[in-house]
Structure 1
Amino acid sequence: MLTILFFARLREQLGQTSVQLTITENTTVEQVLTQLIEEHPSWQSPLSSNNILAALNQQMVSKDTVVSAGDELAFFPPVTGG
């Protein structure tokens, strides 16, 4: 099982703080996003954004990073500040 966390605006848009997802070996962050959209079609717009950031086990990663069962994957929008 992969634990997926949603933060900031994504959490509000999806109405979820976290979900559990069963994944296969060699699954990438991009494939996780695709699987989430397939299982929750209403999430397509928020999760299809090119600027979504991902952190795997609290380290920033790219969408081609491979995840494993037991990992924690977090998605969040870009952070801005001043």
Structure 2
Amino acid sequence: MTILLFGITKDIVGSPTLSVPTSNISGKKVPNTVKELKTYLGKNYPELNKLSSLAVAVNNSYAEDDTIINSYDEIALIPPVSGG
């Protein structure tokens, strides 16, 4: 599954996109919900846990933590935005 990254999330990961495995590799659990994806990303990129908020969009719509995600979904991480 490919995740689109914006703002500070792109800086933390070091790339505008991130590939997440969609099948169990070495016994690691594959994220099936938005909440599991956030947990997975927080373990692999601890700096993401320091953000005041982190919205996730699935197929161009903001998603709740219990939203099911699939390998073919378009997923985006949307960090907090400050106005100016």
TM-score by length of 1: 0.74
**How far did 1:50 drift?**
5.2
Partner AA of 1:7 in structure 2? F
* Aligned length, in residue pairs: 78
- In the aligned structure 2, how far is the partner of 1:10 from the partner of 1:60? 16
More divergent stretch after superposition (66-75 vs 29-38): 29-38
Identity %: 27
Give the secondary-structure state (helix, strand or coil) at the position aligned to 1:75.
Answer: strand
Structure 2 match to 1:44: 46
Seen in structure 2, the aligned counterparts of structure 1 residues 9 and 69 have a Cα distance that, compared at 3 Å, is same
Q: Deviations over 1:2-55 (max 9, x none)?
A: 2111101111122121122223688111111222344x3xx1122464510111
Give 5+ residue unaligned stretches, structure 2.
24-29
TM-score calculated relative to the size of structure 2 = 0.73
> Post-superposition, which runs of at least 4 consecutive aligned residues in structure 1 deviate over 4 A?
none
- RMSD between superposed Cα atoms in Å: 2.3
- 1:10 is aligned to 9
Q: 1-side partners of 2:49 and 2:76: how far apart?
A: 12
Higher strand share: 1
Q: Is the 8 A contact 1:26 1:66 kept in 2?
A: no
What's the counterpart of residue 57 of structure 2? 55
